Structure 1
Amino acid sequence: KLKEHQLLGQTDLRLIAPKETLELGSFTIEFIRVAHSIPDGMGLAIQTPLGTFIHSGDFKIDQTGGVTDLNTLAGYGARGVLALLSDSTNVEREGYTIPEKRIGESLDQIMRKCEGRVMVAVFASNIYRIQQVVDSAVRYGRQVAFNGKSMITNCRIARELGYLHVPPGREITLGEMAQTPDSQVAVITTGSQAEPMSSLTRIARDDHRQIKIKKGDTVILSSRFIPGNERAITGMIDNLYRFGAEVIYERVSEIHVSGHAYQEELKLMLRLTQPRYFLPIHGEYRHLVKHAQLAHEIGLPWENLLLAENGQVIRFDREGCRFSDPVEVGRVFVDGKGVGDVGDLILRDRRHLSNEGLVVVLTVLNNQTGDLLSGPEIISRGFISEEEYPELIQEAKNRVLEILAQRPVEDRKNWPEIQKEIRKALQRYFVKSIERRPVVLPLLIPM
């Protein structure tokens, strides 16, 4: 990505490895290997003058698909851990994560039985899963094709770094698929979450230039349905069935395992590190609560369980820990040359304008007496057509004239108050008349 955006030359990249340490001021940081769905996942042991903090990173404990360094974690626990920050994503799931080996066995069964093409949708970052698909495809005599920009890029980098191995002569291009028997084709593609412009979504819409679904194809979604994407994914599955494909996904077969620890693995992390304080991280608020409850079940006192949301600051010192003043966090809106200068209020106004439109009320008044000189003129943008609703516009003008006429002589130059009254009156009128709420902007021009 840095190279793509021409930032690589000005970026200071430092290569790290498990068990290496880094000195940052008074902190000493050791990198601890953890198993996850990406290669070289790392947790952190942060040694400070007050004590050691352990940050689990995204992790699971699976000795078949990447080894989590339990010995190092236990060593820190024996020496004393001040606080543990641990992944909470799968705290609602009991037991242990399914071993990665089981996914390989499921893929083998599918590859062996399918007589047509097999297409496997997987996260492009999940190199271990991609290797499993490649191994299974090669084992059953299939050629492998990679599809999707991020998939092709990630697999190229993974092969260069030695994380992904495709036997010589077993990879084909999408263009070569037509000359290869269907029973000898396996496609690894992006789009498991039905992202609008992803490869599998375009295939399901019959909008892909090189891949067309046909009867006999089998499509495997080797990922979970991420909350919020369910509707798009099920719609994509329906489209694939309409074109004649068989679709296999997590709810009907064991073709995906999470990269995040289940309850028993989370308990093991707590028991190994034996922290004084526990801060659950990475999850919705309900996940944090349930993770704290899990920690209490194995012996941590409630007063040492810290539930914090984004932006909350926890201060540790010699006296213990406490919540401090929060900081502003979240997305930063880049608008033209401005970075972060557009706040929530402006964004709310923009949404309001885009949904309901704008009405400008232009009125010219005598600067000395406040008498009406011209107008009111009403300009509608994105609200209604002035030609189609002349009665509505005229009645709005009449409401403005009534407000001006009813103002006491001594109060006709109170421009802010008059503008406020016009705004409220027209907003009420438009809601009552056509149940719409445009932004009303009265402009009083004194002359």
Structure 2
Amino acid sequence: PSGLIIHPGEMKNFPPEKVCVMISGTQGEPMSALSRAAVDNHKHAKIEKGDTVVLSSRIIPGNEKTIYRMIDHLFRREAHVIYEDGSSPPIHVSGHASQEELKLIINLVKPKYFIPIHGEYRQLKLHAEMAASMRGSVGNVLLIESGDILEFDELGARKTGRVNVGRVCIDSGSRTDVVEDLVIKDRRHLSEDGIVLPIIAINKLTGRVETSPEIVSRGFAAGEDGFMDGARQVVMQTLDASSAEEKADYGVIKEKIRADLKRYISKQTQRRPLIMPVILEI
């Protein structure tokens, strides 16, 4: 009937009990309409005391923190929130077709080629097996994954190879600088365990260590007192046990220091920071 659907700007002209708002953002997306309304930051929708908010959705794994944060905001505004918490019958019905509905579509379309494309591999496999069982309605069933090359020509369709697919990371501030997997691995390593820099001053003429090694760390918790002194002692013992020839080969001595220090830190802290020995020639 006329007037059933109104413009968002007209909501203020109606009593609250006469208005039902269809609003997006049930997964707690930061800039979604519901998330903004939950913190009084929406142009038209405002959550007031006594309002009922129904989240007709399932909680997608990984979104729990943002969803519950949004629900907390709604409770702070004294709204009655109905969501999937197990205290009431489910109010959400999946938008995905059931198996019988999928069979109905296949019987109506009778495809020459059937290629399931949505879901995890186990779901693709079951979908393909279901289609293959309907011999009178389906021609060829092809099961492919992301990256598989599907080729069509006058002879039909077939898988012909594979290409690399997946996320491509671009450095901040750039549109073209692709970050390689090794760099991503190092950055993840640094973020989780930090970095340790043992600094050794070596006289380039005599090959002797001039001062006690310095240990610098960033993003790595040294732990109990005496840990850094123990680390310096490990470096000194490595240097003392090395020949003059090894000390002259900075690549060799750095690797020996790194290996011994890694063993010590792992034993003391069960952590694996990035260790980068630095040799200063004086």
Give your verdict on TM over 0.5: yes
Q: Does 1:346 align with 2:183?
A: yes
SS in 1 for 2:188: helix
Show the counterpart of 1:401: 236
TM-score, L = length of structure 1: 0.52
2 CA distance for matches of 1:325 and 1:367? 56
User: For the Cα contact (< 8 Å) 1:332–1:340, is it kept in 2?
Assistant: no
Q: Does 1:358 align with 2:195?
A: yes
CA offset digits 1:3-43 (Å, max 9, x no partner): xxxxxxxxxxxxxxxxxxxxxxxxxxxxxxxxxxxxxxxxx
User: For the Cα contact (< 8 Å) 1:356–1:439, is it kept in 2?
Assistant: yes
Change in 2 beyond 3 A, CA 1:263/1:231: farther
Show the counterpart of 1:233: 67
Which amino acid in 1 is paired with 2:143? Answer: L
2 CA distance for matches of 1:306 and 1:340? 37
TM-score, L = length of structure 2: 0.78
1 CA distance for matches of 2:48 and 2:82? 15
2 CA distance for matches of 1:308 and 1:180? 53
Show the counterpart of 1:445: 280
- My pick for the range that moved more, 341-350 or 221-230, is 221-230
Greater strand share, structure number: 1
RMSD of aligned residue pairs (Cα, Å): 3.6
CA offset digits 1:44-65 (Å, max 9, x no partner): xxxxxxxxxxxxxxxxxxxxxx
2 CA distance for matches of 1:291 and 1:414? 61
Q: CA deviation at 1:197?
A: 4.1
Report how many aligned residue pairs link the two structures. Answer: 275
Q: CA deviation at 1:442?
A: 1.0
Change in 2 beyond 3 A, CA 1:183/1:292: same
Show the counterpart of 1:424: 259
Q: Does 1:172 align with 2:10?
A: yes
- My pick for the range that moved more, 268-277 or 403-412, is 268-277
Q: CA deviation at 1:214?
A: 0.9
SS in 1 for 2:240: helix
Which blocks of at least 5 consecutive residues in structure 2 are unaligned?
none
Show the counterpart of 2:247: 412
Q: CA deviation at 1:396?
A: 0.9
Superposed, 1:16-95 pairs within 5 Å as none
Which amino acid in 1 is paired with 2:183? Answer: I
1 CA distance for matches of 2:33 and 2:243? 68
Q: CA deviation at 1:374?
A: 4.2
Query: Relative CO higher for 1 or 2, CA cutoff 8 Å, sep ≥ 6?
Result: 1
Show the counterpart of 1:220: 54
Which blocks of at least 5 consecutive residues in structure 1 are unaligned?
1-134, 147-170
Q: CA deviation at 1:400?
A: 0.9
Show the counterpart of 2:97: 261
2 CA distance for matches of 1:375 and 1:325? 58
2 CA distance for matches of 1:318 and 1:370? 74
1 CA distance for matches of 2:251 and 2:162? 36
User: For the Cα contact (< 8 Å) 1:145–1:186, is it kept in 2?
Assistant: no
Q: CA deviation at 1:248?
A: 4.3
